Chains A and B, each alone.
Chain A
């Protein structure tokens, strides 16, 4: 295909998409019977639900099934794969590392994003200042890992040059456990803080002025204002940001893959899934690790749903 044809194909698919959607919406909106609302709502949600069902739900169920089978997916072995995860020393460490990632990344990234959003709000170079923090979001994780190689590298890394100059000596940052986990987490924080900052900044700007006026009259200011007015006002947004980053963290495998390859006790669940399934061809164990990722996010999902219910109730 030539260049023009490829772009033409892209336009054709968009045109077809809108033609089909228009057709469905027009046809269903004609139905005026009692079932009308039901049929119309189906026209609105079913395309998305169907795609999600095929693309995510079915593979998820498939994984659960595979996780109960042996490595060649030929016979059922019950919960053996899960037993392995919770007894094997290396895999237990993977679980521990994952816990560290999931606790540290969302909290620190959100905190930095929030502080930076407050500090630069209405500052002189606000837009530039914000673009700087957002920039890492525009870089692929492969690119980000490369950027940080130039920081952590033994010989040509910035960090060693720095610690050497200030008299702390040179270190193998990526080898020495358990600190190496923190250095890897820093990379993801560096990427995600921009997302947190941008969303939170928008939310902060929308805090109604009357609330602030009232607080001012009561003599609230400074840190107290931040603690008692700003943070509570943007609480729902904070939850959304924390949730999104938590889920991203659990799924991110590129950073570990590109920097340490899971060596030096740095592997996490998502990377271990990839390694067991695609490298060691152990689909049973790999799928069990993936299922564990779903299970770990469940509390986050449940918490969010309860929050949504609470808001709805008001």
Chain B
């Protein structure tokens, strides 16, 4: 049997099942249903976007749709968000977010791919049990881990301002730990789709596992890794809990800083609204520009049933 890299599974142009299903469904009802869902998904966000441009008093007293009947725009909220964060502005916190996110995405994905490879194509005792355990550990709520991990980091000297890299290690480590179970589970699903013959024949030719992993598997898994990378990026970027517990205030990500910005007890909706959009921009750009890889990556692992 010849081997086709699955990353290139051709997308049938004419005759996909849903397309056929749709043809009969294509009544105005089907389009209407899709349209209704799309509207339902957009309107709330649009409300927030509009609110972020409305003056404080308006935001707090009237609904955002009043802007269409009583137009009043202001950039004041954004100005406050950018200037009102102490002497430094928001920029350092965006940098912190990047410094936290980049390693916290790359490292767990690479580790997970390695582990997924071993679980799929290597033989060692206790393999099934280990895999089940890792899968099951997805369920541990992060809150449970906070105190034990903090104790550990303090003992290892990874916590606080005097720690190496200003305390970033505890954040990188935590995000890596929390990401691994789901990453291994999902990537293992993709990994198993790679035809076994590919690995068998390479083994026959005397290739080591490391060689197979780096030369054969890695390129094939690239799209799937990118797909999971996007999800992991979104989770780390939007995380608040881990940052608050393990991050010192000098390395807070933008999300934590924006949360603090909203006043002592947090009812400055106008500032929160603009803040939410500021922190949304980068993930949005990342997703939109990588959307192509995302779909392709998921396609690579698509299950043949």
Bound together, the chains give a CA A127 to CA B125 distance in angstroms of 45
| Nearest CB in chain B: distance from A71 CB, A | 14
- Say whether B210 contacts A226, CB under 8 Å: no
Bound together, the chains give a CA A59 to CA B146 distance in angstroms of 8
Return the contact of B208 from the options A13, A29, A123, A135 (Cβ within 8 A). Answer: A29
Q: Would you call B216 an interface residue if the criterion is a C-beta within 8 Å of the partner chain's C-beta atoms?
A: no
| Nearest CB in chain B: distance from A239 CB, A | 9
Give per-residue flags for A178-196: 1 if the beta carbon is below 8 A from chain B beta carbons, else 0.
0000000000001001010
Give per-residue flags for B53-79: 1 if the beta carbon is below 8 A from chain A beta carbons, else 0.
000000111111100000000000000
Q: A118-B22, A225-B17 are in contact. Are A298 and B130 (CB under 8 A)?
A: no
Give per-residue flags for B14-41: 1 if the beta carbon is below 8 A from chain A beta carbons, else 0.
0111111111110000110110011001
Contact stretch, chosen from A86-94, A168-176, A209-217 = A209-217
Among A38, A59, A122, A212, the one with the most B-chain Cβ atoms within 10 Å of its Cβ is A59
Contacts of A78 in B (CB 8 A): none
| Nearest CB in chain B: distance from A199 CB, A | 6
Give per-residue flags for A282-297: 1 if the beta carbon is below 8 A from chain B beta carbons, else 0.
0000010010011001
Contacts of B139 in A (CB 8 A): 247, 250-251, 293-294, 297, 301
| Nearest CB in chain A: distance from B116 CB, A | 9
| Nearest CB in chain B: distance from A205 CB, A | 5
Bound together, the chains give a CA A11 to CA B98 distance in angstroms of 11
Give per-residue flags for B208-241: 1 if the beta carbon is below 8 A from chain A beta carbons, else 0.
1111010000000000000000010010011110
- Say whether B15 contacts A216, CB under 8 Å: yes
- Say whether B15 contacts A129, CB under 8 Å: no
Contacts of A223 in B (CB 8 A): 21, 24-25
Bound together, the chains give a CA A37 to CA B127 distance in angstroms of 13
- Say whether A129 contacts B63, CB under 8 Å: no
Q: Which residue of B lies closest to A151 (CB)?
A: B44
Give per-residue flags for B274-305: 1 if the beta carbon is below 8 A from chain A beta carbons, else 0.
00100110011001100100110011001111
Bound together, the chains give a CA A214 to CA B41 distance in angstroms of 37
Main secondary structure of the interface of A (DSSP, over half): helix
| Nearest CB in chain A: distance from B100 CB, A | 8
- Say whether A121 contacts B19, CB under 8 Å: yes
- Say whether B18 contacts A60, CB under 8 Å: no
Q: Which of B146-176 contact A (CB under 8 A)?
A: 147-149, 152, 165-166, 168-169, 172-174, 176
Contacts of A38 in B (CB 8 A): 124-125
- Say whether B141 contacts A52, CB under 8 Å: no
- Say whether B174 contacts A55, CB under 8 Å: yes
- Say whether A37 contacts B122, CB under 8 Å: yes
| Nearest CB in chain A: distance from B37 CB, A | 5
| Nearest CB in chain A: distance from B127 CB, A | 8
- Say whether A52 contacts B299, CB under 8 Å: no
Q: Which residue of B lies closest to A206 (CB)?
A: B302
- Say whether A3 contacts B95, CB under 8 Å: yes
Return the contact of A212 from the options B17, B24, B125 (Cβ within 8 A). Answer: B17
Return the contact of A206 from the options B9, B59, B145, B166 (Cβ within 8 A). Answer: B9
| Nearest CB in chain B: distance from A285 CB, A | 13
Q: List 24 A-B contacts (CB under 8 A).
A: A9-B166, A10-B99, A10-B102, A49-B134, A116-B37, A121-B19, A132-B42, A137-B287, A138-B238, A138-B287, A139-B45, A146-B269, A150-B47, A155-B63, A156-B59, A161-B63, A223-B25, A225-B17, A235-B305, A237-B302, A237-B303, A244-B182, A273-B141, A297-B139
Nearest 8 pairs of A and B residues by beta carbon:
A55-B177, A222-B24, A202-B298, A206-B302, A140-B238, A44-B118, A48-B115, A59-B145
Beyond A44-B117, A139-B280, 7 extra complex contacts between A and B, CB < 8 Å: A9-B165, A25-B213, A40-B122, A45-B118, A121-B18, A237-B303, A305-B132
B residues at A contact (CB < 8 Å): 9, 11-12, 15-25, 30-31, 33-34, 37-38, 41-45, 47-48, 51, 59-65, 91-92, 95-96, 98-100, 102-103, 106-107, 110-112, 114-115, 117-119, 122-125, 130, 132-145, 147-149, 152, 165-166, 168-169, 172-174, 176-178, 180-182, 184, 186, 189, 208-211, 213, 231, 234, 237-240, 250-251, 255, 259, 269, 272-273, 276, 279-280, 283-284, 287-288, 291, 294-295, 298-299, 302-305
A residues at B contact (CB < 8 Å): 1, 3, 6-7, 9-14, 17-18, 21, 25-26, 28-29, 37-38, 40-42, 44-45, 47-49, 51-52, 54-60, 62-63, 112, 115-123, 127, 129-143, 146-151, 155-158, 161, 190, 193, 195, 198-199, 201-209, 211-213, 215-216, 221-223, 225-226, 229-230, 232-237, 240, 244, 247, 250-251, 253-254, 270, 273-274, 277-278, 287, 290, 293-294, 297-298, 301, 304-305
